[in-house]
Amino acid sequence: MTATLSCTGLSKRYGDILAVQDVGFFIEKGEAYGLLGPNGAGKTTAISMLVGLLQPDTGSVQVCGHDLAADPLAAKAKIGYVPQEIALYPDLTGRENLRFFGRLYGLPRRELAKRIDEVLDFVGLSDRADGKIDTYSGGMKRRINIGAALLHRPEVLILDEPTVGVDPQSRKAILDGVEQLVADGMSLLYTSHYMEEVERVCKRVGIIDHGKVIAEGTRKELVSTLGSADRVELVLDGDLDVATDKLRAVEGVTEAVRAGTSSIRLIVNEGSHLLPTLIAAVRGIAVVTAVEVIEPDLEAAFLHLTGNKLRD
Amino acid sequence: MSPSPVRALVAANLRRHSRDKVGLFFMVVMPFVTILFVGMALGGSGSGQDRIPIGVVARDSDPVATAVLRQLETSHDLAIERMDAEEQVRSGVRTGVLAAGLLIPPGSTDLELVMTQTNGSGMAARGMIDVAVGKVAAVLEAVRAAEAAGASPAEAEALVRKAQASSARVAVSTSGAAESSTPRGFAYTAPANVLLFTFVNSMAVAAALAESRRLGMIRRSLAGPVRERSVLLGEVLSRLIIAIVQACLIMVVSTLMFDVSWGDPLGVAAVVGSFCLVSTGAAVLVGSLVRSPSQAPAIGPPLGIVLGMLGGCLWPREVAGETLNMIGYLVPHGWGMDALITLTKPGKGLGSVLTEVAVLLGMAVLLLGISLVVFRRRMRTSN
């Protein structure tokens, strides 16, 4: 199967900081690929290079067989880009904003009118199409932001944190829509802080940290990197910093991080067997008020691979 | 270059501008309010060729008054209006209906000149009244001299008439004065406000360019199949169209409402067109340099007004003094005003303002060049 989007050896340096280092992955036709990484990992820099907004120092990007550097217009015409920040004219209506983007992509007048109606229907905003954007809720703006990227029927849709700051109803609508697009054969590159969204939408996931893709695979493949490890969450009352250090030193604990004001999250081998040892380790420092052993999931894999929670 | 992205950007920018109520007020209403009130203060004439209105209070039976009036009426530049009361004259001068007033008390040679305006028409009225009174005084002096020399009043009058007839053969011609004279009233304020408001409103719309950057619209446009130069052209063209619409609106409305004569259409188009390019260059430069949209209106319009002052758009440059006049030539408004005023004079056309047009085009090229370099750099660094 040919890749709709592929990149190899992408690097970008800002002064002394190597923001992206030798990043490479591919997305097949109709495949949803998730890019996970903590803040500052290099996700947005990588995406900026993938959509042609930033010139890489090294490496190349291919979109549907078009080299982005050699034939940028043909390559960009195949991409639908949904930026993290909502980029819409607030004093124009939803329909007028879509018309602007459709014209930008050179859609003929009649086709554009038809596509605008289709896209408005798809994002569920037909009834608010003629309202100005500055009267929309955050979720509605996000949906139009996505709609603008769909007008020209792109081969690959790149979504950079598309659900940031939206209400649950709009998030559900966005995720349902994205799943529908993938089911219809569109390729997808999805970045999000929300692990559950990536688990739900994406077939394969790349984990990026400190500018490098440190692991890549299906959810099952990534979780299997944990081996027989479990994720354990302890709710404690006491000195959590000292308790975290104590727990980290316990044999069989591979990761221990604070989670909120009263919890410590751990990756441990044979979690259920190790529980008495864990509780004993914090005795005198903190009182364990609740314990949860969670089956290995993508978040545990992420924690294991990066040593950070995703939202750090 | 595909025209679609350029058209898309122009259409979106113009639509956004058409929804800016404050911007529309300054574009559609404010220029005409300014032209009306400043034009009336400067004499309220559209062609610049009308007579200067002077109110006079005098008795017909008074020989001095009769002589002065007769002398004033010989001037083709003055419109003499006889009035009954001093207060009528003072009120007319105060409200700007009259450029000046002359009060001639019965049996007295102590005349009173009433004027408040120190502008072109007021000063011109004063000059012409001085000349007329001077001539009458000269005749009176001559008659007195003849009588003192022993002539009878009838002989004295005959001698003076003879002297006047011979002095009439001495013609004093003025060169340059007519050409350099500044038109009055609307004929002055209309071209002045074309330049002033085209520039000021171009600077005001510079905020929209900064806003597009802040919103991420330029960045998102560049993520599409759009060349960088298409985005540049779209943004520049949007500002140029707004400048041209502003200039045309003022010219058309002031022609219809205030009967302003602009002169050779080709010359006017060349001057106004090149000035619009200068305004666009300045707008794109300001829009690219400022960091936030709120900075543009804080910098642009005040700068436009200062340049307008220096260039003679707020008051005639002849009252500004030599130093300010020289500084005026450093700004586009000075060249634009010179050119537009020249074109209002009979027989003047594009050929008469080629230097001004060339200077304006040079300024436009310089400003557009710098602004495009800065704008392109901003586009790249905002990525």
Reading the block at residue A268, the tokens are: 């441990």
Cβ <8 Å between B8 and A104: yes
The per-residue pLDDT for B81 is: 86
Confidence of residue A133 (pLDDT cuts 50, 70, 90): very high
Give the Cα separation of B111 and B117 in Å (integer): 19
| Phi (first) and psi of residue B169, to 5 degrees | -75, -15
Mean pLDDT of chain B: 82
CATH number of A3-223: 3.40.50.300
The per-residue pLDDT for A26 is: 93
Closest CA to B66 of B53, B75, B78, B56: B56
How deeply is B254 buried, as exposed, middle or buried, from its count of CB atoms within 10 A (0-12, 13-18, 19+)?
buried
Give SS3 for A134.
Answer: helix
User: Which positions in chain A have a beta carbon within 8 angstroms of at least one beta carbon in chain B?
Assistant: 48, 51-54, 72-74, 76-77, 79, 81, 83, 85-92, 96, 100-101, 103-106
The per-residue pLDDT for A68 is: 95
The per-residue pLDDT for B176 is: 43
Which percentage of chain A shows pLDDT scores above 90?
58
Closest CA to B211 of B263, B286, B157, B148: B286
Reading the block at residue B70, the tokens are: 């007769």
The per-residue pLDDT for B139 is: 77
Cβ <8 Å between A87 and B226: no
Q: Closest to B7 (Cβ–Cβ): which among A51, A103, A105?
A: A103
Q: Can you say how many angstroms the Cα of residue A280 is from the centroid of all Cα atoms in its chain? A: 38
**In chain B, what are the domains?**
3-45+183-381 (no CATH), 52-179 (3.40.190)
Domains of chain A by residue range: 3-223, 228-295
Whether the Cβ atoms of residue B1 and residue B146 lie closer than 8 Å to each other: no
Give the Cα separation of A281 and A243 in Å (integer): 8
Q: List pLDDT tens digits, range B188-211.
A: 888 998 999 999 988 888 888 888
Q: List pLDDT tens digits, range A144-202.
A: 999 999 999 999 999 998 988 888 888 888 899 999 999 999 999 999 878 888 888 99
Confidence of residue A308 (pLDDT cuts 50, 70, 90): low
Closest CA to B231 of B375, B371, B19, B383: B375
Reading the block at residue B69, the tokens are: 């009036």
Specify the amino acid at residue A201: V
Reading the block at residue B159, the tokens are: 């001698």
Residue of chain B minimizing CA distance to A68: B225
Mean pLDDT within A119-143: 93
Give the CA-trace dihedral at B287, B290, B294, B295, to 10 degrees. Answer: -110
Confidence of residue B175 (pLDDT cuts 50, 70, 90): very low
Q: Which has more pLDDT, B173 or A247?
A: A247
Give SS3 for A124.
Answer: coil
Decide yes or no: CATH 3.30.70.920 for domain A228-295.
yes
Give SS3 for B5.
Answer: helix
Q: Which chain B residues touch A79 with a CB distance below 8 Å?
A: 223
Give the CA-trace dihedral at A198, A192, B380, B211, to 10 degrees. Answer: 130
| Phi (first) and psi of residue A303, to 5 degrees | -60, -40
The per-residue pLDDT for B174 is: 44
Establish if B217 touches chain A: CB-CB under 8 angstroms. yes
Is pLDDT above 80 for B21? yes
Sequence-ordered alpha helix ranges (H) in chain B:
3-18, 21-24, 30-41, 63-73, 86-95, 120-148, 153-168, 177-180, 186-215, 217-222, 228-258, 265-289, 295-310, 322-328, 332-343, 354-381
Q: Which has more pLDDT, A146 or A300?
A: A146
The per-residue pLDDT for B172 is: 44
- Alpha-carbon dihedral sign for residues B309, B312, B313, B316: positive
| Phi (first) and psi of residue A195, to 5 degrees | -55, -40
Range with the largest mean pLDDT of A199-213, A298-312, B358-372 = B358-372
Q: Closest to B215 (Cβ–Cβ): which among A74, A87, A105?
A: A87
Cβ <8 Å between A91 and B11: no
